[in-house]
Structure 1
Amino acid sequence: MSHTAHIPSHRKPRRSASKLALRAGVAGGVLSTIAVAGAAGPAHAEPVTETIEMPTLGSLGTDLASAVSASAEASQQEALDQSLMAQENAALQKAAQEAKKAKAEADRKAAAERAEKARAEAEAKAERERAEAAERAARAEARAQLATTSASTSDDDGSSDSSRSTTSRSDGSDSSDSSNGGSSASEEETTQAPASGSAAAIVSFARAQVGDAYVSGGTGPNSWDCSGLVQAAYRAAGIDLPRISYQQSSMGTSVSLSDLQPGDILYWGSRSGSYHVAVYVGGGMYVGAQNSSTGVVERSLDWDPPSGAVRIL
Structure 2
Amino acid sequence: MSHTAHIPSHRKPRQRASKSALRAGVAGGFLSTIAVAGAAGPAQAEPVTQTIEMPTIASNFSAAAAASAQATQQLALDIEKQADQDAAAEKAAKDAKKAHAEAVRKDEAKKKAEAAEKKAKAEAEAKERAERASRSTERTTLSASTGSSGSSSSGSSASAPSSSSSNVSGSAASIVAFAKAQVGDAYVSGGTGPNAWDCSGLVQAAYRTAGIDLPRVSQAQSTAGTQVSLDNLQPGDILYWGGAGSAYHVAIYVGGGQFVGAQNSSTGTVQRSMDYDRPTGAVRVL
TM range (shorter): 0.3 to 0.5
- Who wins on radius of gyration, i.e. which is larger? 2
TM-score by length of 2: 0.46
